[in-house]
Structure 1
Amino acid sequence: MLITMLSTGTRGDTQPFIALGTELKKKGYRVRIAASESYRQLVEEYGFEYAPMRGDIAKILESGVVKDADNPLKFFTSLNFKNDDLEELMVGGQEDMHRACEGADAIVYHPGAALGYFVAKEMGIPSILAAPFPMTPTKEYPAIIFYDRLRLGRTVNKLTHHIFEKGFWKMANTGVKKYWVKKYGQLPKDFSNPYPKQRTSSHPTITSLSPSVFPVPGDWPENVHSLGYWFIEDQAGYKPSKEVDEFLRNGEPPVYVGFGSVGDKANAAESTEMVLKALEKNGKRGIINAGGGMEERESTKDILYVKSVPHEWLFPQLSAVVHHGGAGTTAAALRSGVPQVVIPFGNDQFAWGKRMVELGVSGGSIPRKELTADKLADAIALTQSIEVKNKARELGVKVSAEKGAQKSADLIHKTIENYYRKERN
């Protein structure tokens, strides 16, 4: 049987699908992953069928079309749909996603690829909403983009989830509507927000999230699941460059600094200066991930500039991780058992920054707009306290033991099995 996965966004959105797909392949499924051209090599390296999607997400992010959203209102207005590249991604990409689903027996889709729900309904097959953050309303905590804001009680908590759900759908449905009308001359039957409909036995929601990080709310429906992060387990085949290997072996464990693919390139030189000063103030060596919001410079005996090193392999060998607060990077840092500092730029990054502080595994969360060398130096120093180190280590053990990708694959297998058993009967 064939499972098609529809990914949107950055590497951090695509990599968990590879982890989940790996577990599904072990169960005998064929897995096809639709993703931006930027991630073709990543998908094919792991032996999956790659389905191309128009609109190079790396190019779009570099263009500055997608603005950092440092408050909930900006989150819903951060995309410029008049941009040609984004138009190609939003409309042409829908056609590519639809084509990727041909012949599938089930569809697993990112919330940004909401077309997956409507194609699954059209084909009469199960769909699984695979979210990198909580998508289902609860009274127990606010929605992800409201998480670091003023708390106004349980009723308002749930309201923020409804706002987020509707706002996310408003962003996602633009391309779906344009494509579907262009192809069929009309909208799908019962065209409306699909996320609340993904809470049934044949259309469940699974979140790539540790219940040790956000406990599973008691008021979630039974077909919404949070079973643990989806990690690529096997890094045994990875061989670091000679420079990375020697740098790690020749000195104290360094601090990693990287701001992902959506970093603030315009201020990369300033960010790099602040980081270098903060590391020097703490007497720490550093590995700096050049690109995004960090400038590439000449490496020294205490500072190594790198382009791409797998987080799962690198992070456990460090003394601290300073990052932008992307969901995937946060998960990798948690699993490593190493303390972290979050420098959020926008969107859900503020929530992950705040949550890491609440869990006691972080030296602090400093919005990029408020970052100084002194603030960063103080936060890095705090990561080296016994209390933060111990809490990071303890939580890392829990997160590592959860086997979220394996459990989620089991659930998807059960969903598909039950669906087709009912069909045959």
Structure 2
Amino acid sequence: MRIAILAGGSRGDYQPVIALAQELVRRGHEVGVTATTDFAPWVREHGLTVEEVHVDAMQIYRDGDVSTVMASTGVAGQVGALRAQAAAMAPELARALIDLWPRYDAIISTALTVGWVAQLAAHDPRPQAVLLFVPALPSRHGDASLFADREGASLHNLRAGLRGVLPGLAMSAPVTSALAAQGVPRRRSLRALRHTLTVPAVIAHTPQLIAPRRVSGRQIVLTGYPFLDSPAGTTLEPELEAFLGDGPPPVYAGFGSQSLRVTRAALGHAIEGALEAGHRVVALRGTGLPEGYDERVLFIDGAPHDLLLPRTAAIVHHGGAGTTAQALRSGVPQVVVPFALDQPFFARRAHEIGVAAAPVPVGATSVEALRLAVLDATQRHERAAEVGALVQQERGVEETCDRLLDGLQRERRSLGHTAPGGPPSRRDTSLTRYLHADEARVGLKVLYAGKDDDSGIEDPDLVRAGHILLHRHPGVIQLFYGPGVNHCIVEFVGLEDQFISTMVGFDHHRDGHYPGLLVPSEEEWVQACAAGWWNQ
């Protein structure tokens, strides 16, 4: 297949995409990766075809007020702030998407690009899969959604998720407007949402950190993080190698390239706190912090995490998805100083699984707080090593590619594209029909949302013995329960490997009808059960 990966964001967002794209190429696929001008040369250095978006994304981020807003508000506000950056990039993004679309057979979108694809797919359908590195769906479970901010299960976490999702959906509006201006018709919002929520999705991160729960009706599939490892023969810079060999393992402290006052202060506190705890320090440049320290501190412009982190005593970092995964794999304990978006989630989860001290949020740091956190972290070596050994056994690149390709092949069949090894099939809704409420009492199996799911639907006419629990159904491919909304979206396998995609509703009318409740007829159930597709 010719596969386009719609990537975007910072260096940490591109690294796992590069690893996956290289693996897809090794498997014989033609792969193109979208990249903004500031990252396009780096992606090309890895031997990949680049679909360049001619804007400097990180310059827009730094020059505008996006980074300032990110440091001063919650997740919902931070997600909303990214809309300003999307607006600045929208015309060029729309041009690039329209240009590349006809040249690829399939699309893999990421969290930052998924909102744009539905509009193009309606105009010219393509098989699509969604690649996520964070669990970006609302849930009441604190270990399964980046929007959750409390341990355990609570309605507070679910409400926080809903507050975060809505700005995220709105973030795509500037690009959809730009696409419309270039002749790509807008999709109705409900159909666009349905498309987004029912395409195959993979979360490429470790199950050691994110719980594989059912979130918003979807069973989270965790494939392990797709690390971009250093090529064989790569070594650290001589100065860094000499520093590491000249004493005990140092503390590593790095917060990326955020140059805000709070991140400069946090890095200074981390360095001084580690020194007061009795450790040497390797510190990452980029925040603008002055380097007036003695020989116990070495500043570096960067170093491969897979080579450096395992040789440290503790890792003080901002909690990005990739850095957290690398720190986990290293088997070294952590101190996480979260800044924005998914970072508070990863900071909290690293502490909950016992590999990190309690989070010290940026803006609330001090020398004493970081000294105590480093001392705490360095007592967690045994647990960190245990988790590290498990992460090292994961096959993130291979498993993620397996899942993505499987999802794209299913989409090819559902859209009528010819799949290898067989003739094209077509989307077919002949197995479904509308059901009157009275018919729910005569023994027909009914597709419904179970009472144990986040949807909260508990309808006595539907929750009864003999019904198929949709989330346990072997033929179900995708399922989304809208939290607080009495409907779900379903895609399931019918007879002869035909695909059915339909909305299943539970809104009562006064006459007792369930106007959106769709089930096969009794005769179709007999045929389906005989064919082995359905449980009885």
Same fold flag (TM > 0.5): yes
* Percentage identity across paired residues of the two chains: 26
- CA distance, structure 2, for counterparts of residue 199 and residue 170 of structure 1: 15
Aligned to 1:141: 142
TM-fit CA distance, 1:96: 1.7
Matches within 5 A, 1:262-281: 263-267=258-262, 270-281=265-276
Contact 1:65–1:80 under 8 Å retained in 2 = no
| Structure with greater proportional helix content | 1
SS of residue in 1 equivalent to 2:186: coil
Aligned to 2:70: 68
- CA distance, structure 1, for counterparts of residue 191 and residue 324 of structure 2: 29
Instruction: Kindly provide the amino acid, as one letter, of the partner of residue 410 in structure 1.
Output: D
Instruction: Kindly provide the amino acid, as one letter, of the partner of residue 332 in structure 2.
Output: V
Matches within 5 A, 1:13-412: 13-66=13-66, 67-69=69-71, 70-79=73-82, 81=84, 87-113=87-113, 114-141=115-142, 144=145, 146-149=147-150, 153-171=153-171, 173-184=172-183, 186-188=185-187, 190-192=188-190, 194=192, 197-198=195-196, 200=198, 203-218=199-214, 221=217, 225-261=221-257, 263-267=258-262, 270-291=265-286, 293-295=287-289, 297=291, 300-385=294-379, 388-412=380-404
**1:45-104 C-alpha deviation (Å, 9 max, x unpaired):** 2111011113312212322521225413422442473xxx76331332232233233311
Instruction: Kindly provide the amino acid, as one letter, of the partner of residue 256 in structure 1.
Output: Y
Kindly tell me: are residues 31 and 299 of structure 1, through their superposed partners in 2, closer, same or farther at Cα, counting changes over 3 Å?
A: farther
Contact 2:253–2:315 under 8 Å retained in 1 = yes
**1:350-373 C-alpha deviation (Å, 9 max, x unpaired):** 111111111110122111111000
- CA distance, structure 1, for counterparts of residue 148 and residue 98 of structure 2: 34
Contact 2:348–2:359 under 8 Å retained in 1 = yes
The higher-RCO structure (CA 8 Å, 6+ apart) is 1
Contact 2:7–2:109 under 8 Å retained in 1 = yes
Q: CA RMSD in A?
A: 2.6
Contact 2:140–2:148 under 8 Å retained in 1 = no
- CA distance, structure 2, for counterparts of residue 146 and residue 191 of structure 1: 23
Kindly tell me: are residues 219 and 279 of structure 1, through their superposed partners in 2, closer, same or farther at Cα, counting changes over 3 Å?
A: closer
**1:202-240 C-alpha deviation (Å, 9 max, x unpaired):** x20111221121111145656752211111145424232
TM-fit CA distance, 1:164: 2.7
SS of residue in 2 equivalent to 1:112: coil
| Structure 1: gaps (5+ residues) | none
Instruction: Kindly provide the amino acid, as one letter, of the partner of residue 178 in structure 1.
Output: S
**1:302-328 C-alpha deviation (Å, 9 max, x unpaired):** 211111212222111111110111111
Contact 1:65–1:79 under 8 Å retained in 2 = no
TM-fit CA distance, 1:148: 2.3
Kindly tell me: are residues 272 and 164 of structure 1, through their superposed partners in 2, closer, same or farther at Cα, counting changes over 3 Å?
A: closer
Instruction: Kindly provide the amino acid, as one letter, of the partner of residue 397 in structure 1.
Output: A
SS of residue in 1 equivalent to 2:222: strand
Q: Which moved more, 1:373-382 or 1:41-50?
A: 41-50
Paired positions, count: 413
Kindly tell me: are residues 361 and 139 of structure 1, through their superposed partners in 2, closer, same or farther at Cα, counting changes over 3 Å?
A: same
Kindly tell me: are residues 325 and 274 of structure 1, through their superposed partners in 2, closer, same or farther at Cα, counting changes over 3 Å?
A: same
- CA distance, structure 2, for counterparts of residue 361 and residue 294 of structure 1: 29
- CA distance, structure 2, for counterparts of residue 364 and residue 47 of structure 1: 41
TM-fit CA distance, 1:245: 1.6
Q: Pick the structure with greater CA Rg.
A: 2
SS of residue in 2 equivalent to 1:423: coil
TM-fit CA distance, 1:403: 1.0
Kindly tell me: are residues 233 and 117 of structure 1, through their superposed partners in 2, closer, same or farther at Cα, counting changes over 3 Å?
A: farther
TM-fit CA distance, 1:376: 0.2
Contact 2:354–2:383 under 8 Å retained in 1 = yes
SS of residue in 2 equivalent to 1:50: strand
**1:114-145 C-alpha deviation (Å, 9 max, x unpaired):** 21343344332211111121123444337745
Contact 1:108–1:116 under 8 Å retained in 2 = no
- CA distance, structure 2, for counterparts of residue 270 and residue 158 of structure 1: 33
Contact 2:262–2:363 under 8 Å retained in 1 = no
Kindly tell me: are residues 217 and 127 of structure 1, through their superposed partners in 2, closer, same or farther at Cα, counting changes over 3 Å?
A: same
- CA distance, structure 2, for counterparts of residue 228 and residue 240 of structure 1: 26
SS of residue in 1 equivalent to 2:358: strand
Contact 2:129–2:408 under 8 Å retained in 1 = no
Instruction: Kindly provide the amino acid, as one letter, of the partner of residue 148 in structure 2.
Output: Y
Kindly tell me: are residues 12 and 98 of structure 1, through their superposed partners in 2, closer, same or farther at Cα, counting changes over 3 Å?
A: farther
The alignment's TM-score, normalised by the length of structure 1, stands at 0.88
TM-fit CA distance, 1:397: 1.3
Kindly tell me: are residues 419 and 234 of structure 1, through their superposed partners in 2, closer, same or farther at Cα, counting changes over 3 Å?
A: same
SS of residue in 1 equivalent to 2:232: coil
SS of residue in 2 equivalent to 1:329: helix
